[in-house]
Amino acid sequence: MLKFVVMPGRSVLLEYQSEFRGNGWIWQEIKTHRKVRISRSFIFRRTDLLAEPAETEHDDINAFCFRFRFASSEPGYYRVPGRILGIDNDVLIANQGIDWSRKLFVAERNTSVFRRIAQLVPKGEEIRIGGQDPVAPVDPRVIPIPVFEEMVTRFPNSLELDHYARARVAAIVGDYLDPTRDFRADYERYLSRRKARDDRTLPLPERLVESEIEKYTLIRDTIRDWLALGDVRSEAAWQRMIVTFLPLIFPKYIAVLANVSIEDHYSAPGKVKHRFLDLALVDANGQLDVIEIKRPFDDALLRKARYRDNHVPTADLSGTIMQAEKYLFHLAKWGVAGEEKLTARYVNQLPPDLTIRITSPKAILILGRDQKPAGGKALDGDALFDLEIIKRKYANMMDILTYDDLLRRLDRIIASLRHRATTSFSLPDAKNGEDR
């Protein structure tokens, strides 16, 4: 049996007595290796023991209750050494508002909660749970207790993990085998049943907001994880990843078309030349736009050398802009004939009765970074100002976005959704006889 004993203002102890094997193995591990792993999760040294068994023939070690120092007290917090949790980060837990139990640290299938969190923070940086002063500005380095508790409750259980594992295997190798069951459908049905059970306790608006937060958090974290690995992936891989999330990041678009062939009647007079767009977007009204997705190099935006004290675009940025301008030019000149050909070609990828329209098409360019991979700004204030001027120059025909622009957009969407989750919306009452 495992139990935490909180001694206010002093420390937190962990008491352990094995219910099945007896306690003799614990003492043997400590004597042999000078440390022991308790409950598959907590690693203690011999020096963490408050008292050692006497080891006399009259004492039963199997009945001995081992008591370990788990956390020390400091102002506002209890500090758990990272080595006890098997991580490189100490954990500071607020000394009020927390129910100390094993599930605070270990989720289903002995998944370490703090080991997962530690993967998101630098080595050596403290992980703080709660303790935020309610009247002080929000500290982004502190995880509020309600958020932490919600995260713990949302860890997948064994059944969900089994469904997910089978669905992932089927998605990867299903094209090469003849599956006897549709495991992806099984997983979706399970999630649907689980959400249906949540309907009895969660109001509809709150459930929708939480779902949106989870969705955008997943997108942001995926992009951030890819960026953390640098430029090891190809441009095609980046395109595939971004395309997966495009209709969620830009909700106006309802279809993504790949390898779109458009006609060029100007490059070779008297002949028709075909140009190929890697990707094109169709919005809910059928309007066609162009998107260019490049790899996230942090030196792809502005040249290091200035021209008369001005920052100027790199060849990558200038070339991408020029490429997009030509696509837009040829699309606009193609006109009605192009609309008819594209609609016929992609009819199976469009909703019923939707016709592709080419009306002043625009482009979205996603390339480069304005932040360094390891953190910090890649561009100084003057460079960012000049980059913004370049963006504004082309704003009437294209949106130029860095990968960090995408992350900031997602961060702000998530912050807005969280604000809406705690703030009711109401229209102001009419005043002085004004119309509502």
Q: Which DSSP string corresponds to 369-389? A: -SB-TTSSBSS-HHHHHHHHH
| Residue 403, phi-psi category: left (phi > 0), alpha (psi -120 to 50), beta (remainder) | alpha
Phi, psi of 130 (to 5 degrees): 70, -170
Helix boundaries (H) for 86-144:
113-118
CB 405 within 8 A of CB 387: no
Q: Give the residue carrying structure tokens 């004492």.
A: 59
| Tens of each residue's pLDDT in the chain, 436 residues | 789 999 988 999 999 887 666 778 888 889 899 999 988 889 999 999 998 887 655 456 777 889 999 999 999 999 999 999 999 999 999 998 888 999 889 887 778 889 888 888 888 899 999 886 554 455 667 888 888 888 888 777 677 767 667 776 666 665 655 656 677 777 777 777 665 554 444 444 677 888 888 999 999 999 999 988 876 788 889 999 998 888 888 889 999 999 999 999 898 888 899 999 999 999 999 999 999 999 888 777 888 888 888 889 999 999 999 999 999 999 999 999 999 999 999 999 999 889 999 999 999 999 988 888 777 787 888 888 999 999 999 989 999 999 999 999 999 999 988 887 776 555 454 444 444 3
Tell me the backbone φ, ψ of residue 337, rounded to 5 degrees.
-60, -40
Distances in whole angstroms, Cα of residue 355 to Cα of each of 280, 287, 288, 336, 342? 15, 8, 10, 11, 9
Confirm if 333 and 361 have CB atoms less than 8 A apart: no
Tell me the C-alpha distance between 138 and 144, whole Å.
10
**Domain ranges (residues) in the chain:** 2-153, 158-221, 225-422
Structure tokens at 34: 């000078």
Angle at 425 between CA 211 and CA 430, to 5 degrees: 155
7 forms beta bridges with 11
Q: 3-state DSSP call for residue 8?
A: coil
User: What is the Cα–Cα distance from 188 to 99, expressed in whole angstroms?
Assistant: 34
Please give the pLDDT value at position 174: 57
Show the CA angle centred on residue 234, arms to residues 232 and 235, nearest 5°: 130
- Is the CB of residue 317 less than 8 Å from the CB of residue 325? no
**CA distances in angstroms from 316 to 59, 296, 297, 365, listed in the order given:** 77, 11, 10, 12
Contact in structure between 369 and 402 (CB atoms under 8 Å): yes
Q: Phi-psi region for residue 109, left (φ > 0), alpha (ψ -120 to 50) or beta? A: left
Report the SS3 class of residue 2.
strand
DSSP classification of residue 175: G
The span from the CA of 384 to the CA of 405, in Å, is: 12
Phi, psi of 259 (to 5 degrees): 50, 60
pLDDT at 41: 86
* Unique residue bearing structure tokens 């006497």: 54
Cα separation, 96 vs 76, whole angstroms: 8
Look up tokens 């309907």; give the residue. Answer: 199
Candidates 393, 336, 334; CA nearest to 365 is 393
